[in-house]
């Protein structure tokens, strides 16, 4: 007898989770063993029962889906990961792929596409959503706070955290072992990417979006 496929869903949209769970459990041998509305809860459930597949959103309260993906890859390397997202931005999709997920499906796709994506990933292959128009540039997409945050590099996030702690450029450079000039460059890039004009607005963005 073929053992069932255990699936964990991480998404804070309750109606979507319910609908997705119903769709998945209509498939023979697929069992949704748990649902989580944030990354921390998902990891807690995985420590109790490791699933075969994690289906996760990207934009969730607290630690986002990117953080969850990285932790799952490290702590549960055999778990396959399928991202379910509304974001079509090439920059977001590239970052997701770089994180090493096994598939991406857009929330706008039909239920048949979700089933196809899950089947593809479970069979050891990768699944990609329909290509966004090649002529579209990342800047043409609506830039909400999550999208902006996702464009930041790990070093830029480190600098932003230290800015919130009121460290000056010299102190930040000493902590991160980089030059003051490099810190200044990161500050400029942070303001440009987050579309803010000053340090106070950087701090507010970081606090409002739970970066610190």
Check residue 134 and give its pLDDT: 41
Check residue 142 and give its pLDDT: 41
HEC secondary structure over the chain: CCCCEEEEEECCCHHHHHHHHHHHHCCCCEEEEEEECCHHHHHHHHHHCCCCEEEECCCCCCCCHHHHHHHHHHHCCCCEEEEEECCCCHHHHHHHHHCCCCEEEECCCCHHHHHHHHHHHHCCCCECCCCCCCCCCHHHCCCCHHHHHHCCCHHHHHHHHHHHCCCCHHHHHHHHCCCHHHHHHHHHHHHHHHCCCCHHHHHHHHHHCCCC
Give the pLDDT mean for 87-116. 89
Residues 6+ apart with CB under 8 A from 33: 6, 7, 8, 45, 49, 51
Check residue 144 and give its pLDDT: 74
Report residue 139's pLDDT band, with 50, 70 and 90 as the boundaries.
Answer: very low
* pLDDT reading at 64 higher than 80: yes
Q: Does residue 42 come out as left (phi exceeding 0), alpha (psi in the -120 to 50 range) or beta?
A: alpha
Check residue 138 and give its pLDDT: 41
User: Which 8-state DSSP code applies to residue 30?
Assistant: E
Report residue 1's pLDDT band, with 50, 70 and 90 as the boundaries.
Answer: low
Give the pLDDT mean for 50-66. 91
CATH number assigned to the domain with residue range 5-122, chosen from the 4 options 3.40.50.150, 3.30.230.10, 3.40.50.2300, 3.40.50.720: 3.40.50.2300
% of the chain exceeding 70 in pLDDT: 93
Residue 35's nearest CA partner among 52, 55, 50 is: 55
Specify the fold of 152-208: Arc Repressor Mutant, subunit A (1.10.10)
Q: Is 184 helix (H, G, I), strand (E, B) or coil?
A: helix
Check residue 44 and give its pLDDT: 97
Check residue 136 and give its pLDDT: 44
Q: Domain extents for the chain? A: 5-122, 152-208
Query: pLDDT, tens digit, for every residue of 145-185?
Result: 887 888 888 899 999 999 999 999 999 999 999 999 999 99
**Cut 0.75: pTM above it:** no
* pLDDT reading at 131 higher than 80: no
Report residue 118's pLDDT band, with 50, 70 and 90 as the boundaries.
Answer: very high
Looking at per-residue confidence, does 63 or 110 come out higher?
A: 110
């Amino acid at each position: 007898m073929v053992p069932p496929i255990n699936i964990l869903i991480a998404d804070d949209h309750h109606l979507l989770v319910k609908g997705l769970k119903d769709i998945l459990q209509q498939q023979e041998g697929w069992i949704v063993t748990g649902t989580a509305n944030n990354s921390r809860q998902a990891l807690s459930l995985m420590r109790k029962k490791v699933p075969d597949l994690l289906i996760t959103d990207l934009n969730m309260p607290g630690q986002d889906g990117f953080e969850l993906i990285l932790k799952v890859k490290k702590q549960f390397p055999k778990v396959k990961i399928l991202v379910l997202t509304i974001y079509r931005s090439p920059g977001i999709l590239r970052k997701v792929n770089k994180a090493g997920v096994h598939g991406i499906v857009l929330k706008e796709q039909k239920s048949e596409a979700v089933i196809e994506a899950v089947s593809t990933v479970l069979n050891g292959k990768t699944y990609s959503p329909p290509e966004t128009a090649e002529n579209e540039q990342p800047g043409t997409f609506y830039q909400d706070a999550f999208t902006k945050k996702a464009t930041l590099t790990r070093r830029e996030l480190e600098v932003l955290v230290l800015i919130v702690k009121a460290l000056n450029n010299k102190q930040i450079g000493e902590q991160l072992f980089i030059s003051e000039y490099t810190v200044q460059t990161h500050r400029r890039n942070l303001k440009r990417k987050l579309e803010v004009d000053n340090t106070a607005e950087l701090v507010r963005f970081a606090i409002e979006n739970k970066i610190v």
